[in-house]
Each structure stands twice: as structure tokens, then as C-alpha cells.
Chains A and B, each alone.
Chain A
């Protein structure tokens, strides 16, 4: 974890996570294939997420889910999981671990700072804990996962420098 900024009301850390993007029907076979690996059942509602001590499991759209590790795991373990899940012919698991960058934003003013970069409505009544959203942050396609007291923001790896600079700029201005 790299702390990018820490000041009153806001803390931004860049963290290492691993991610598997899943596509499928979300039926019993799908749930079985994933549950076998992560001991979690897929959330059935769009943009909801469930978690355990190892993974966050979020539903991104009607046929797309994402698994994010809470701690860095062995690359081989992730590759093995992808391979295992892909044994189900009717679904696709893709390793996104290195294709994404991960930023954790916490602090009581996090909404204010993020709203310099995105129009998204962070109010609790609109964006409760254990939900996620795919939206634009600093004009980049990002996913925002609302954890208990912080947000996990992910973006494509190629945008990492740009988003990091924009996050810091928003805090500094």
C-alpha cells in the first residue's frame, strides 16, 4: 500500500488487489463454480456486493460480476482459480489483476473531494454500503465500491498515472 495523501478529512492510498471478471448467466452452475473457489454466492441484484474475509463479490450488470481479493494473493493461485472457473464452458473468467489500478479513499470529506471529479451521488441514501457503481471519475471509466468507511476505486491500468494525479490535484486545490 502506498499512501498518496493524508490530511484532515481525506486519505488516499494506492493498494494492490487482484481481480477476476466473470461473465455468465448467474445461474446455479455459475454460482457453484464461483462458490467452490471463494465461498461466496453471487449477489443477485445489480450493483450490490457481498464479501467475506478474502473477497469482495460484486454484480456489475445483468451478466457480469467481479471478484476482488481483499489481500494480495499468489499470482498462481489467481491463475488457478481462473482456470478452475473457466472449466464451466458456459461462463468466462478473465484475470484482471494487473489490468486494473486500485485506490482507497477514506476520511469524512471524501465525498466532497471526489465530487470535484465525478457527478456521482455519494449520499448514503443513494449509495449505501455494499454497493458499487461504474461511472466516470476525472473522465475515466471507473468502478467505485463502497466499503464500510471508505471507497475502493478501480480504473484501467493505463490510466493509473492520470487518475492518481487528478485525485491528488482535487485534494490540493
Chain B
């Protein structure tokens, strides 16, 4: 069979790989062993595994926005891919950072916590910048516009893992009434069947044939959905899993298509069939390139047809390496040596037969003491059963320290583990959710028992298929293991190290030091040493660490326990988490019916909640915000201006008890209020603090329409619903939000009556017929509009409520009808300025949740004779009626040329002693401040302690550069205090 060649670059050099190769497989095919440098000591590192558990072979993909820390053992190559090694300078072979290895005695466990304590100022100026520069492995990726998406699934059963166990489960469910999602992290099903040489045939068919038939059967069933190249990363409560799908496996990114899909899966049952992970053994220099896990070595042989080395040394403490031995010898290769810690009498017969048949040097009851080599393994040092050291020249060492069920997801689901003495590992014990574990993840490494397990554990499901499966194995099923976490070191030098965590450069010496320093709890020890805290989460080593610590502490490993397995199983890209909620879709946007008109008129928009509101309109490119706002504000008071007020909340309230309800919700009294009139109203919280304000319009005693502030529209409705349903369920009253049913125009200015008369020429807007705070509905074209005479500017004003489909034409009609008045559209900033000139508050700007109506001089809005309303009782509390509470006042600068800044402190003294050492008595702060074009000086409002009594006095306001300016304290009403303009 001819494989098509794929060319890619690694550190600038071009290599050829086969289609389907991972970067690691392709590099091994080219005999490249040195892949990167370690995190702390910059030691040379190679390829340790063949999958997601890889701690060492992390690379940067330059042509994918510099994506860092990509596992070379997972990422598939494609034509033109550019790969770069990480954490080295100037080159991978010659890395100056490797001096850290020589300095390693000072980088022991807890180095970060004990150092950098002084001298003063060094942390900010020296240590932190330095640490930030050296931290991490890869360089940050370049910014790019991700198209990652989210995809939700709702299923009855999810099967995690498309290996043998997962496929058997899927066959049981094929064609049934259950909706099943089968998730496989590789691009092909099979798992162990593809990786190892353990099973000869299934149902008398070669395993590939059985796999093909099984996949066809599953695909043809209409109840099983398949996801490949998808890694389940998270198992949440309850029955909610998250999986990450790579859409670009073996191909370059398409910037117009999603590169990742984050699957969010809600299920009834979870079948975990996600297998196991081989673990290593710690020995001297167990990190050198050329040391590889035995099962991974075999996976390269079987899945990728790559022979990493034709004559490696095999080092094991268990039966599983027979499979590797067979795979190698089947291919005509002969291992240099077979080192087994077990006594010969415990080693399987078929292993001994193979060793003898191929005359492979055999070292029973022996162990690898260490490896020699600078940038890769050159020699392996073996301590024989006679306690003698024997050295073997080799460039590769395959290690097997046993297997761990891949319990990460199981423990994320809050399932409990127990120690399995036979397999020397933790395995699932008690489930917390509806979880079923099958195969090796459940601690079952026997194929014969697997069938029984599948039938038994899936018996709770009705109507499943019968399984007729017969395995023929290549060796015996017997699994035997002897405990070995680390071997004794012979040679001690600065260079020699025995690693327990390859990614974080944690050594067994670090573990011992941590325990000596009192970190004898596994969670503390983990954090002190950073063991298993890398992106690989110590998948091949964490149990070894527990084993070593248990020995140091002289405890059973089950007593030491495991650290907490937290999601995600493997790092998840931020782009996948964000999904489409980025850039133009970052946050839902709300637009008013006039939005397109505003855009054409060069509106600059302000975000008010999710609403896009015109902030101001630029008359020309050169016009600044200040100029625009001054122009708009001046024009409103001169002739008229119009504001898009569509965002104001509108709530329709109706019911037999609507009047009682409105009286309870607001401070004002509405009992004597005439129909078709409105009233400015205040809503308080239970604490008596101002919650919202608006206008209450009374249609009749059973029917009201109220307005709210833009930002509080939803919360005010929810507040009303809550009280209606929980406090006063006896009241017959209902509410609907009608905010979006109407566009709202606020017309203001001395010419507004004339303009209204021109636009609605059949309506009489005279004071007699249309007095202040009255409203009415009118027929307009084929619909109905409502007009309310009200003002938030202090000018003669009208609010027009019109259905959105008629809004734009009516809005334009206002401009056509008022050309001679230069009607000006104005934005929210001008609205704020105009209301500040009148001293009208904005809830949330001039209030902050600690302000009562009394503080705002709004006593007149409290219905004194009302029996009750929300917040009434609180208004009589001692603290609320205290005279020196912060109260709203107006401020005017003594020097009229000066401006007052919002948010600045109000103080009694002119001079601030610099530098400020003692606290300065702050009377309050400036809540609103604007330059009034109509008064030609700044006007401001402030909340200051005992403010009412201070009216007429002189205070000072701090400035940005720690100066002060003198201000006169005045009533917060700067223009037309008698409201004559509004009543025109």
C-alpha cells in the first residue's frame, strides 16, 4: 500500500509524514526524538506517549495563529503545517535556559513561595516582570476571529469512548428507541483494537473487519448519533457533559468555518467507556528523549505503522508488555532487553516463550536504575537481581508501570473511588449520577468479563439487542503486577534527576522535601510542589506520586487518597468556550424602531443595558461630543428638540384592584387622580430607598400604564409580579410589559406645541384642552397612538407613543413640519444635561441605593394619608430622618469659568495638604455635572452630608490634580425655578 506523503515543517526543517500521522508519529517516522524543552529546568524532552496524556511533546503551531502548547501526540499533520518547538532559546538543541538545570538546587519545591520576599519594591519592578517573561511554555497566540460554535444535544444515553467497550454498548442500543450519542476522541473507532496486539479475532473475523461491520451497523441505526475527533472534557451535575470537537483534524483551518465545536450534552444516562491510561515508573533521568510508555510505543506500531525504534529495551512491572513484545517480534524486530521487576516464576508463560524464541536478553527481578545521555537515551542502566549494575546501549526504553482506569470523568461526576489491590490502582466504586462504567475504566481489564459486565450493567435498559461476541486473544488474560513506583538511584549529580511530574519538572526529591516540611496532605503537597498541576494533570504520574508519598508517610495508598479531579479533562480553548458570543454577537443588542434613522444621522450610540441609544448626533465629522451636546441643548431651549425615548419601560396594569396595587407600589397617592392624567411617581424598596421612578398614567381606576427607567424596566415588572403573587395574591391585578409595542418620542421646547399642532392638525393642544400631565389616545392612520403632555427637560413637552411600524414615518414628519424651527434630534447626553439644569434626578446616577425621597427633596411625592406602600415603614426609621444624612443639593462654581467633575469629593476646606496623610473629611460627592450652554457655566448636583442646611454656603470640590475649586451650594434647580416654561 502506498501512503500519500504530507510535508510539514518542524523548527524550520521540512519533513514528510503519512496521511493520518500525528506530529509525533511523523517526527518519529523521521527519527526526530528531541521535541521540546521542559518547563523549569529546560531539559531536553521527547515523545513520551501517543495520546492526550502527553506531558512533554508540546509544540506551537505557527500557521494556526501561533497556537501554543498543542500536543504533538494528538495534532494531525497536513500539507504546509508549520510547527515550532517551545520554551527554548536560541534553538532547541542549544538552549541557554538549560542553565536552570545546573541551578536546580535552588529551584526545589516551594521555591516560588519562599523566594521573592524582598527587598521592598522588587516584586513589582523586578520579580513579577521577570517571572511573567519566563512563565509558561509556548508564546501567547495571535489574535484571530474564531468561528467556534456551540452545539447542544439532548439524549437518553451518551457513550463516552468508541473503543471495544463503547462499541459493544452501542451495538446493544443500535436500532432501539433510545436516543444515543457515541463520542470518540480519535478519528476512528476501535481503541485497544487498533492500538495493541491483544485480540486476534472477534467472532472469527479479523478485528478490523469486525470494527468495520460494527461501525456500519451503528451508522445505519437511526437512533445513534456519532461524534468523532471529540473529547469529553467535563461531566457536570446533573447529567450534563461537555465535549470539544476538532473540526480541522488533518487539514488547515478554514477561517470561514468553525474550527472547534463545543458540544453541550444533556443526557439521562452516561456510559463511560473511556478506557485506561498507562503510567510510568520513576528512575534516574526518566525524562530523556527516547523513554516512552510501552503501550504508546505499541500504538505507534499498530495505529500509525511507525517503528519508533527497532530494538528498544522494555522495562515493566506487569503482564501487559507481552503485547508489545509480540507486536515487535511479529514485525521482525528484536528488543535489546526485557527487564521485569517480577520474579521469573510470576511472568507469563507466553512471554517467556517469546523471549526464548527470539533470544531476547531477559532480566527478571531486575529494574532500570537510570538512563544515560545528554539529549537522548544512549544507555540504560539495569540493576539485576543480584544487585549488580548492567549497562545496555540503546536509544529507546519502553516503560510500563501498570494501568490506571481513566477515572477523571467519573470523579468529576462526584463518583467515589476505591483502591484495587490486584491492579494497584484506583477504580470507580460508588456512582453519584446515572453513570455506568464499562471495560477498563471500571477496572475490568478482562475481555471475557467485559461481555458479562456489558450485559449486567445495561440490563436496566429495556429492549436492547443481544450481544453475540466471541474473542480470540493473542495471549492469556491473566494480569499480574508488582508494585513499583520508583527505582533506587545509583548515580547522583546535578544533571541526574528522577521525575514524578514531567511537565512541571517535579522530582521525587521535591516530594520528599515537601513531606519533610510538613505538607503531608496530598492536596497541600500538590500545590506546594505543583505536582500534577500541568496541562496534562499528571495523567501518567499522579498515582505514582500517591504511591511514593504513601511510602514516605508509611500509610496505605488508599489512606493517602487522591487529589480532586476537576474539569476540564484536557485544556479547552477560550475560543470554544466563547463560541459565537464574540465580536458582533458579544452581547445581544436591542434597537429601537428608529435605529436606522439614527445611523444615517451620524448618531454616536451609547449602550444602556442592551439597548443602543443615540448618545449624541454629530453634525459634522469635526464636531466633538461637547460641541454636539451644547448645540443640541441650546436648540431644545431655543425652539425644540426630539429624543427617541422608545427604550423607556412601559407596563400596562389592569384589574379590579389595579388602583390599590398602584397605590401600594408607588409612594404617591393615585386615588383622587383624574382619569387620563399622569403623575410623576417614585417606587421604593422595602428599605425606603429609591428604586425607580416614572410616570403613572391612569386610564381609569382599573387600568393604568406606567413608565419605568430604561435600565429598570425588567426588574420593575418582576418586582410588581413578585408582590402581586406573593404579598397580595388577594388583589385582582395583572401586568404586561408593553415596552416594545410602542416607539416613544419626547418632543421638548417652547415651539413644541406649534409643531404638535402641525403634525396632528386635528388635535387641540391648548392648555385648556391638553393641560400638563394629561394624556389621550388618538386614531392615527390605521392605528392608535397615545400622547402625554410631560417634560423631563423643564420645557413644554409631549411624549408620543406610536406602534413601531408607523414610527419612522411619523418621526420624519416631525422634521418636515418644523423646518422653520430647526427641530434638533438629541441624544441621551443632552437629555441628561437638560434635566440637570432643572435638577431632575436620574435613578442610578443621582441615587445609589442608599437615598430616600427625603434625601432628594421629594417629600411632596409621598402620599401622607396613604395607609401603606412599599418602604413606608422604613421612612420613619431614626436613621432615615436623621438631619445630617446625605442630601441632594445643587452646586455652582464661584469662578464661572471652571468646570466641576462628576464623582469628585465635596469638602469643607480649600487646601489639601499634600501628600495626603490623614483622611480628609468627605461631605459627599458630585453625582451629576454639566456645562450649561443656557446659563454659560457649570451646574452640578451632589449628595452631601446635611446638604439642606448647607444651602447658601460655600464648599469645595476636589479636582483630578488634587486641587480644589470653590462652589456655592444652591437649590438643585438652575433654570426656571417656577416652571413657567413647562406650563407655557
Complex Cα spacing A166 to B154, Å: 21
| Chain A CB within 8 A of B963 CB | no
Number of interface residues of A (CB under 8 A): 45
Q: Cβ of B656: which chain A residues have Cβ within 8 Å of it?
A: 89-90
Complex Cα spacing A91 to B733, Å: 8
A95 touches B585 (CB 8 A): no
Task: Determine the residue in chain A with the shortest Cβ distance to B740.
Answer: A99
B613 to chain A, nearest CB (A): 11
Q: Known contacts being A24-B734, A98-B804, is A165 close to B585, with CB within 8 Å?
A: yes
Q: Known contacts being A157-B740, A173-B257, is A121 close to B589, with CB within 8 Å?
A: no
Q: Known contacts being A90-B732, A119-B266, A158-B740, is A126 close to B154, with CB within 8 Å?
A: yes
Complex Cα spacing A92 to B590, Å: 26
From the candidates A23, A112, A120, A139, name the one contacting B734 in the complex (CB within 8 A): A23
| Chain B CB within 8 A of A100 CB | yes
Binds A, one of B143-151, B180-188, B342-350, B952-960: B143-151
From the candidates A86, A98, A138, name the one contacting B654 in the complex (CB within 8 A): A86
Q: Cβ of A6: which chain B residues have Cβ within 8 Å of it?
A: none
Q: Cβ of A170: which chain B residues have Cβ within 8 Å of it?
A: 149, 580
How does the 8 Å CB contact mask read for B147-175 relative to A, with 1 for contact and 0 for none?
A: 10111111000000000000000000000
| Chain B CB within 8 A of A74 CB | yes
| Chain B CB within 8 A of A14 CB | no
Complex Cα spacing A24 to B592, Å: 30
How does the 8 Å CB contact mask read for B567-579 relative to A, with 1 for contact and 0 for none?
A: 0000000000000
Complex Cα spacing A24 to B233, Å: 47
| Chain A CB within 8 A of B30 CB | no
| Chain A CB within 8 A of B7 CB | no
Task: Determine the residue in chain B with the shortest Cβ distance to A24.
Answer: B734
Q: Cβ of B589: which chain A residues have Cβ within 8 Å of it?
A: 159, 161-162
Task: Determine the residue in chain A with the shortest Cβ distance to B804.
Answer: A98
**8 A Cβ contacts from A98-146 to B:** 98-100, 112, 115-116, 118-123, 126, 138-140
Q: Known contacts being A86-B703, A173-B147, is A115 close to B654, with CB within 8 Å?
A: no
Complex Cα spacing A121 to B581, Å: 21
A88 to chain B, nearest CB (A): 10
| Chain B CB within 8 A of A55 CB | no
**8 A Cβ contacts from A77-97 to B:** 79, 86, 89-92, 94-97
A158 touches B147 (CB 8 A): no
Task: Determine the residue in chain B with the shortest Cβ distance to A115.
Answer: B152
Q: Cβ of A89: which chain B residues have Cβ within 8 Å of it?
A: 655-656, 702, 732
- How many chain B residues sit at the interface, stated as a range, is 35 or more
B783 touches A75 (CB 8 A): yes
| Chain B CB within 8 A of A63 CB | yes
A123 touches B179 (CB 8 A): yes
Q: Known contacts being A156-B590, A161-B589, is A98 close to B741, with CB within 8 Å?
A: yes
Q: Known contacts being A92-B735, A98-B804, is A158 close to B149, with CB within 8 Å?
A: no
B591 touches A161 (CB 8 A): yes
Q: Cβ of B740: which chain A residues have Cβ within 8 Å of it?
A: 98-100, 156-158
Task: Determine the residue in chain B with the shortest Cβ distance to A138.
Answer: B588
Task: Determine the residue in chain A with the shortest Cβ distance to B781.
Answer: A75
Q: Cβ of B266: which chain A residues have Cβ within 8 Å of it?
A: 119, 121
Complex Cα spacing A95 to B149, Å: 37
Q: Cβ of A45: which chain B residues have Cβ within 8 Å of it?
A: none
A120 to chain B, nearest CB (A): 8
B177 to chain A, nearest CB (A): 9
Complex Cα spacing A116 to B245, Å: 14
**8 A Cβ contacts from B757-802 to A:** 782-784
| Chain A CB within 8 A of B264 CB | yes
Complex Cα spacing A158 to B784, Å: 20
Complex Cα spacing A126 to B81, Å: 46
B149 touches A94 (CB 8 A): no
Q: Cβ of A79: which chain B residues have Cβ within 8 Å of it?
A: 783-784
A108 to chain B, nearest CB (A): 12
From the candidates B655, B738, B782, name the one contacting A94 in the complex (CB within 8 A): B738
Q: Cβ of B739: which chain A residues have Cβ within 8 Å of it?
A: 99, 156
Complex Cα spacing A162 to B611, Å: 12
Q: Cβ of B611: which chain A residues have Cβ within 8 Å of it?
A: 158
| Chain A CB within 8 A of B446 CB | no
| Chain A CB within 8 A of B534 CB | no
| Chain B CB within 8 A of A2 CB | no
B741 touches A94 (CB 8 A): yes
A92 touches B655 (CB 8 A): yes
A94 touches B152 (CB 8 A): no
| Chain A CB within 8 A of B711 CB | no
B151 touches A97 (CB 8 A): no
Most chain B beta carbons < 10 A, residue from A90, A97, A123, A169: A90
Complex Cα spacing A63 to B591, Å: 30
Task: Determine the residue in chain B with the shortest Cβ distance to A114.
Answer: B152
| Chain A CB within 8 A of B805 CB | yes
Q: Cβ of B179: which chain A residues have Cβ within 8 Å of it?
A: 123
Task: Determine the residue in chain A with the shortest Cβ distance to B579.
Answer: A116
Q: Cβ of B152: which chain A residues have Cβ within 8 Å of it?
A: 115-116, 118-120
A131 to chain B, nearest CB (A): 15
B580 touches A159 (CB 8 A): no
**8 A Cβ contacts from B332-378 to A:** none
Q: Known contacts being A63-B734, A90-B732, A158-B611, is A165 close to B584, with CB within 8 Å?
A: yes
Complex Cα spacing A56 to B783, Å: 23
B580 touches A21 (CB 8 A): no
A162 touches B734 (CB 8 A): no
| Chain A CB within 8 A of B258 CB | yes
Complex Cα spacing A63 to B611, Å: 29
Complex Cα spacing A76 to B653, Å: 22
Task: Determine the residue in chain B with the shortest Cβ distance to A163.
Answer: B588
Q: Cβ of A98: which chain B residues have Cβ within 8 Å of it?
A: 740-742, 803-805
A90 touches B741 (CB 8 A): no
Complex Cα spacing A21 to B611, Å: 23
B655 touches A90 (CB 8 A): yes
**8 A Cβ contacts from B585-629 to A:** 585, 587-593, 595, 611
Q: Known contacts being A79-B784, A100-B740, A123-B179, is A169 close to B580, with CB within 8 Å?
A: yes
From the candidates B257, B735, B784, B804, name the one contacting A23 in the complex (CB within 8 A): B735
Q: Cβ of A115: which chain B residues have Cβ within 8 Å of it?
A: 151-154
B149 touches A92 (CB 8 A): no
Q: Cβ of B846: which chain A residues have Cβ within 8 Å of it?
A: none
Most chain A beta carbons < 10 A, residue from B150, B153, B734: B734
B741 touches A95 (CB 8 A): yes
Complex Cα spacing A95 to B738, Å: 8
Complex Cα spacing A160 to B596, Å: 13
A166 touches B805 (CB 8 A): no
| Chain A CB within 8 A of B455 CB | no
A119 touches B592 (CB 8 A): no
A158 touches B590 (CB 8 A): yes
A85 to chain B, nearest CB (A): 11
Task: Determine the residue in chain A with the shortest Cβ distance to B803.
Answer: A98
Q: Cβ of B741: which chain A residues have Cβ within 8 Å of it?
A: 94-99, 157
Q: Cβ of A126: which chain B residues have Cβ within 8 Å of it?
A: 154
Task: Determine the residue in chain B with the shortest Cβ distance to A118.
Answer: B152
Complex Cα spacing A90 to B658, Å: 10
| Chain A CB within 8 A of B736 CB | yes
Complex Cα spacing A98 to B153, Å: 33
Q: A115-B154, A119-B266, A121-B154 are in contact. List 11 more A-B contacts (CB 8 A).
A: A86-B703, A89-B732, A90-B656, A95-B738, A98-B741, A99-B740, A100-B740, A121-B266, A157-B741, A161-B589, A173-B149
28 A–B contacts, CB within 8 A, in A order: A23-B654, A76-B782, A89-B702, A91-B655, A92-B652, A92-B655, A97-B741, A98-B740, A99-B738, A99-B739, A99-B742, A115-B152, A115-B154, A116-B580, A118-B152, A121-B266, A139-B581, A139-B588, A140-B588, A156-B740, A157-B804, A161-B595, A162-B585, A162-B588, A166-B585, A169-B580, A173-B147, A173-B257
Q: Which residues in B have some Cβ–Cβ distance to A below 8 Å?
A: 147, 149-154, 179, 257-258, 264, 266, 580-581, 584-585, 587-593, 595, 611, 652-656, 702-703, 732, 734-736, 738-742, 782-784, 803-805
Question: 3 smallest A-B Cβ distances: which pairs?
Answer: A23-B734, A99-B741, A158-B590
